[in-house]
Amino acid sequence: MFERIAVVNRFALDYLRQVLADLDDADLAAIQFAGQNPPAWNLGHLAVVADYGLSLVGGSARSPRVWRAQFGPGSKPSDRREDYPSKAELQSAVESGYDALVQAVQNADADTLAKPHTFPPLLQLLPTRGDMLAHLLTTHFAGHLAQISQWRRQKGLPALF
């Protein structure tokens, strides 16, 4: 059921690696306009969202517990670089988290995927764990990837393709 979604998520992860390749770790907290999420926050957020997805299929969180408050829904991004882990740590958490999530989702049974998830704001639009997991692996991931890509372009870096 999730084979095509896994392919799309792997594509997004590869694109994320390309987007991050020439970004300087020291700049990753910069906010270039009011309301923007800096790359460091986006990466931490993606890592804790992978943890949430894993919880929906019986998996365990992989990132530090403190990250849930720092990067979870309702958290406030900071423009201070010292408030975030390193680029390498954040990127590793995202990559390993989504690798684990894709595998867990592909191994999940139909009964688990049919149950309701635990994020009330999206229950009406995405009623099942399967629906939520498809969103987390595709549209949610892509939205935050686009924020990082846009931030990168605002820094004057060239388009990747």
In this prediction, residue 57 has a pLDDT band, given cuts at 50, 70 and 90, of very high
- Between CA 73 and CA 60 the distance in angstroms is 19
End-to-end alpha carbon distance in the chain: 30
Residue 135 is assigned to a structural domain of this protein: yes
The whole-number average pLDDT for the span 41-65 is 97
Q: What is the pLDDT of residues 6-27, one digit of tens each?
A: 999 999 999 999 999 999 999 9
Q: How confident is the model at residue 75 (pLDDT cuts 50, 70, 90)?
A: very high
User: Which amino acid, one-letter code, is at 60?
Assistant: S
In a domain, 44, yes or no: yes
Domain span at 60:
3-154
Q: Per the structure, how many domains does the chain have?
A: 1
Please report whether residue 159 resides in a domain.
no
Identify the weakest region by mean pLDDT among 34-38, 47-51, 95-99. 34-38
The confidence band for 79, taking pLDDT boundaries of 50, 70 and 90, is very high
CATH number for the domain harbouring residue 103: 1.20.120.450
160 assigned to some structural domain: no
